[in-house]
Structure 1
Amino acid sequence: MDTAIWIILAVVIVLVVLVAVALLMRQRTTRRRSKAHEIRENATQQVSEVRRREAIAEESDARARKAQAEADAKAAEAKRLSEQAQAHQGHATESRDKLERELARADKLDPDVKKNRTTQEDGTSRPDDDVAEDADVSPRSQRSTPNGTSPAATADSGGIGEPDRTEPPPTTR
């Protein structure tokens, strides 16, 4: 019987060990299941925060696109206005050149205009140094009519000899 007791004792010990291992495995599975559930709950709670951040990011992106579109529109407007200004400047230059040619032609025809003028580098005429010493005097203001007033002053002021006042061309928008 000694052997039978040892066999029964060995079977009981094996059964106790198997039950202990089964309980430990069940506890481990329960802990893992609980941990997984906790992680899922945290993730679910963070979903709303993530969605809020995504909404903020989309809103910021929309504002950035709008600002970029406005900047592009302003750049296009600036380019258009610059081209328009260049066109106006070209017209003004053409008008100024035409005016200068007409005035030069009038000076050439007018016997009262002094003939001792020299041409400057910019193409405008200027009297010799013995006629006028002032470098700020424009060729147009140096011309004079028989009564001693400038032709521009006479034309602009009704002949009373006031200086010529020109205004810049109006700008369009």
Structure 2
Amino acid sequence: MAAPLSAWPWEMLGVFKYMLYGPFVAKVWDSRYREANQSSWCLHILIICLLRGMMYLSWNAYSHMLFLTRNRRIFKQGVDFKQIDREWNWDNFILLQAIVAALVLQMLPVHETLPVWNPKGIIAIILLHTAVSEPLYYCIHKWFHRDYLFNHYHSLHHSSAVPQPITGKPSTLEF
């Protein structure tokens, strides 16, 4: 029996999982016709998801360009089909982060009036990220290296024989 929460909730949808971005697109489309900037946060979430996906695809493409990386590879062997199959749904974490961001922004009472380019807000976000978010992430990641959590959740993160840009992030439900 698999551990609880060891699979993505939208795993049964296959390639139709991208339809979960539909509410974001609909909200952006609706806000364009109302001529109000009420749903700009949906547009921002979609743009961030698109940029993150493009960034990971770019790094993955770069890592497979042997004419550029042949002398700088950590392991000389290539990626086998088992590893490709394990890492096939690499973009699930982007979808999860979009859904979580939408839920969090819906709970904030002032999410519609937040300025987009506020220098004080950018400084606050950088400080929160470096002082709270990153240390908390690494503490939780270290916690996932204990026996039960590692065996049931985190082992896939470390099971790749050949390191790839896609396996260097939490692309599974493991941290």
Greater relative contact order: 1 or 2 (C-alpha under 8 angstroms, separation 6 or more)?
2
TM above 0.5, one fold?
Answer: no
TM-score, with normalisation over the residues of structure 2? 0.22
Instruction: Decide which structure has the larger Cα Rg and report it.
Output: 1
